[in-house]
Each structure stands twice: as structure tokens, then as C-alpha cells.
Amino acid sequence: MHKDKIDGHLIQVSSEIFPTRLWMFKLHHSFLCDAVRRGFYLPVFHRPITPLCHLQKLILGIAIRNETQFGSLQASSVVPAMGVGKAAAKENPNERLPHNPNSFSYESIQLQKDHLKSLDKNLSSLLAFGNASDPNAAASSRKQSSTGCKVFPGDPEWPSDAIWTAFNSTLGGALIKTVPIAAPCYSGPFYKVQELTKSSEPDPSSYMSPLYQGNTCPPTSNPNGTCTLGGFPSYVVNATTVKQIQLAVNFARNAGIRFVVRNTGHEFSGKSGGAGALSVWTHYLNDIQYIPKFDDPLLKYSGPAFKGGSGVIARDLYKAAEDRNHIVVGGEGQDVGVLGGYIQGGGHSPMSPIYGMAADQILELKVVTPDGYFVTASSTENVDLFWAQRGGGGSTWGVVTSITVRALPNMPITVVQFSFSAATPAAFWGGVRAYWKHFIEYSDSGIYGYFFILDIPPVPFFQMTAFWAPNKTKTETDALLKPWFADLAALNITINATTTTYPSGYPAFINTFPLEGVGGDQVVGSRLFPRTSWQDPLLSNKTFDAWSSTNSILISFNIRAPNVYNISNAVLPAWRETVLHTIQAVALPPQAEISARISARAELSSKMLKWKAC
């Protein structure tokens, strides 16, 4: 599968620009929209595609007020979201600025104030830049609905089809009218038998988690059913230039429309989609450039770096680094957009025990700010934005078009993988407790442990996906594991471990972390457990008892993320003292009704309170 195939993300229920020094995007996550039905789970990468309309459990959308039946939307020159590829924007050569060696070619195509003078007055006002020096005045000029909320489809203030068509013309044809993935299953303008076996991977608005989806357009074998847009954005800009992003930001701000950003992969908190939104899709901003020497005295860094577009996926960045005999800090998910929300939210990594968080590696960002201007954020320019973007959250401070990160020395990596269960639950948890007591030792040794515990009766199951040991030999890694394995043997727990030493980072990543399905029928919560929970024996036992008593699926990381470079950024400070990051999940029944979702959330909250009490 090539890098143009992954998309996804979830939903942001609303976003609002409000005045601060940075004009940040204030994100509101409305859980009123939990009037959702079951979403879909599509573990499809490199697997046979099942006929879509026969996947009765593959559900799309979210139930939100004023649902618009997409099939009744007027046709226009706007491209429907079916079979979308990289947009070939109509470029005016006069709009390309002189080449800047520090920018990608798509970053040289920018919106200038002079470009707006030739437009119709009404359209020009919708595309005008904001006034960063007086955000209160700019805020007062923005439209809002009669309810005081963002303008929503069906409101009198919603732009007409003619306005959307004119807007699309300024974008060079890059505007996409969202169509649910399962639309070909239903009678109407998008009913196409030949579309029924397509998956959602290349779609600009499909999601990769069911939590923020609903049941507004489920695949079906009955073409006479009802299919509505639900929680998908109304329109998507398939961005391939900075100018298109600037136009989208200005249009959404001036029209009072919800604005969301998504780059390419899945996302857990629902920020990258939403009903009635205009979305910017940065999936095709995927250039990668090697910089032999990047000097920044303030960051005390002088060395190689990689610059990548915000649509670059982890696998491609890792390969580019490998080709130059380097490694970069990124997540274990191969197809995650590594320079999007992942790194901007902090970004934990298998390399974090040695190099810290992914956000710590950022040397420079290129950003379209909420007022529509394209700026550089670095240690010397827009330093407040530079601080905030390194850990303060994706889609929060602006639309990132590219990021420059440190290129680090490559190294061999030893990986150990195994699984176990036991004769009794007591023996099983005894084996896990034996691991628990080594958490500080392992993380301080640079180890990253990625493991799952599935509480499947009668006895739970433990899977070590990766005991990841950078720059360690097999002998050194075996020595670290020997005491734990001895404790397991004493509990009559048999281990058949597979140990592999890879010569460098890329083959270790590719072979250890295969392509995974994402999403599932559960609600999730997570917690960072600090090392102080292990330094006192009584507290350690109390914490273990609370952690292990949830009867939930546990997805866990024995990890640390020190501030290796002694820098100041917006990474959550708790990460610096973390030894364990755990996600727990409460499963939902298929086609869960609202009452079942409420019950699952209450159960999750109760279980999370046990963890918070430690």
C-alpha cells in the first residue's frame, strides 16, 4: 500500500476561534453528540476488501441536529467525495513567490491581499484576512447563527450553493462535497454498483474510529433505506498549496462556519471532523527533505534534520531517515500522519526513553494562523506559537503545513516478543506483578514495553508486542529480562520468547509493528502513572491493585519521556515523570443504543476513578 491510501480521523463537534495573543482555536468536544450508534471497524490494510454493502456492522456518521439528506443536495461544480485523488489545482504562475530553499514548492503558492481585489466584493469579504492586531474587532465581524452558535447547514446564514461554487473556483477546484462512504448502497445520485467494494481508506472525510460516528448511513443491502450526512464535515478542501489553506481558514472564519483540520490517519479525541464543518485535508502535503546541517543556537542544536509536510506518514519518514543512516522519533503506527496531530500533541514513541517526546524534536514549523497568514514558528520567529505547537495539540493553534525535526544517529535495536496466560487468575496476575516491579529499571535502561492484557475468562491473556531495546545486544536484553522470566517460571508460566536484533531503526519498526486495524466497539480512557507510584512499596501495591482490577482491555506502555534537551515546550509535564501509560477500554455491544453508550461511559468513569485515587 502506498502512502496516498490512508486517511481517517474522527469528529470535532465544534471549534471556535477566540481572541488571545495566538488567536487559538478553542475546541469544544460536545458529548451531547453521544447520541451515536455503533461506528465501524475496518481493519483492512493489505487485506481482502469485503463488499461494502454487505458489511452490516460497518457504520458511518453521527446523529446530530438538522441532518441533511446528502442525496438532496444540489449538484454543482464542487467535486463529490467519491474516488477523490490528489487535486490538480489550477495554478496562476504569478501567485508563486520566488523560491525559498527553506520551503516546499507548495508553500511558495500563497494568498496575497492583492489577489482579493479582482474578486466580487461579497466573495472578497469572505476571503479577507483577519486582523491579528485587533482580534476583538475581527471577532465582531464574523457571522454567527441566530442561536449564537456556529453557522450550520439549514441556517439562513449558511452560504448558498453559488457562494460555495465561487469559493471552489478560488481554490482551483479543490473543494469536495462530502458523501458518506456507504452512499453507493442507497438509491439516489450516488447509487453505483461498481462502488460497492471500495473501502474508506482514500476518502477525505471518513473516520478511523467508531466512537464519534453514528448510524446515519450504514452499509446495507436495502437500497431504499435512509442515508444522511450525519457527523461528517459538509465540505473538505483537498489542500495541495498554502494558498488553499489560507482561503479555507479565511472563508470559515468570516462565514462563521465550524473549521476542522485532519491530515491522514486515525485520532482518538474526535477533533478532526464534525457536522456542518469546513475541513482542510492535508493528506497530500507529503514532501520530505533532508537537511544536512540545521543550526539553531537557541535550541543548542547543530546537526542534520528532516523537513516533512503535515501529511507525511510515519513509515515514509522512517524510510527517508534510514536512507540517510538516521532515525527519527515517531509512533509505532506505520500509517499515522507523524507530523500532524501526533507530534503537535506531544507524541510518545518507542524511542522516547532515549530521546523524549516527538514534540521535543521540532526545530521549526510552517503554519497558517487563524487570521489566514502564513508564518514560520521557530526559536526566533513567533516564539509563543513555536512553544505552543510543540505539544499543545493539533488543530489548536493553526494549520501546520510542514515541520522540521532532528535527525538522530541510527542504531541497532533488539526486540523481544512473547505472550502468556496461566492456570489461574492469581498466577497470571502474579506474573504481571513480577513485570510491574521492573518498570522503573526497564524504562531507565531505555526500554519501551508495549503490551496488552485481555481479561478473557477464565484467565486473562498477556501479549508483549514489543520489548523494544534500542542500542542493546541480545545478551544485554536477555540479562534485563532474566529476573522477570525466572519469576514467571516459578509461577509455572511458560514463555516462548522470540528475540530479534535488527541492524537499524527502519527494519525494526517495519517488522515489529505491522499495519494494524484501528477503531473498535469500545469507549476508552487513559492515564499516565508517575514513577513515584513505584518508589513507595505500599503505594506501588495499591496502584497495581487498582490498575489490575478493572476487568477491562488494557493497552499499556512501560515508557519514560525525559526532557533530554532541557527545553521549554507545551508537552504535558506529567510525561516527564511517567513510567506507565495505560489505555483501558469498555466494550460496547453491536449496534449499541444510547442507553448502552451511557452505561459504558459510566462504567469507564468508575474504573478511571480507581486509577485516579492512586
Domain boundaries for CATH 3.40.462.20 within the chain:
413-503+521-612
Q: What are phi and psi of 87, to 5 degrees?
A: -70, 135
| Residues 534, 542 contacting (CB under 8 angstroms) | no
Domain boundaries for CATH 3.30.465.10 within the chain:
288-409
Amino acid at 48: P
Pinpoint the alpha helices (H) of 64-147.
Answer: 121-126, 135-141
Amino acid at 447: I
pLDDT tens digits, residue range 550-561? 988 999 999 999
Which residues pair with residue 306 across a beta bridge? Answer: 290, 405
| Residues 493, 435 contacting (CB under 8 angstroms) | no
Name residues of the chain where pLDDT drops below 50: 1-76, 82-83, 88
Q: What are phi and psi of 109, to 5 degrees?
A: -95, 100
Instruction: List the grid coordinates of 195.
Output: 462502488
| Residues 316, 3 contacting (CB under 8 angstroms) | yes
Query: In three state form, how does the secondary structure of 489-558 look?
Result: HHCCCCCCCEEEEECCHHHHHHHHCCCCCCCCCEEEEEEEEECHHHHCHHHHHHHHHHHHCCCCEEEEEE
**Which element (helix H / strand E) includes 418?**
strand 413-420
pLDDT tens digits, residue range 171-225? 999 999 988 877 788 877 665 555 555 555 567 776 666 566 666 777 777 788 8
What does the alpha-carbon distance between residue 614 and residue 609 come to, in Å, rounded to a whole number? 9
Task: Express the helix, strand and coil content of the chain in percent, nearest 5 each.
Answer: 30, 20, 50
| Block residue for cell numbers 488553499 | 244
**Confidence (pLDDT) at 517:** 72
> Which of left, alpha, beta for 110 (phi over 0: left; psi -120 to 50: alpha)?
beta
What is the domain class of 413-503+521-612 according to CATH?
alpha beta
Burial class (CB in 10 A: 0-12, 13-18, 19+), 590: exposed
**Confidence (pLDDT) at 186:** 82
Amino acid at 203: D
Instruction: List the grid coordinates of 584.
Output: 483501558
**What angle separates helix 505-512 from helix 314-323, to the nearest 10 degrees?**
150
What does the alpha-carbon distance between residue 375 and residue 391 come to, in Å, rounded to a whole number? 18
What does the alpha-carbon distance between residue 414 and residue 50 come to, in Å, rounded to a whole number? 37
What does the alpha-carbon distance between residue 443 and residue 352 come to, in Å, rounded to a whole number? 10
CATH of domain 288-409: 3.30.465.10
Helix and strand totals (H; E) in the chain = 15, 21
Pinpoint the alpha helices (H) of 113-192.
Answer: 121-126, 135-141, 161-170
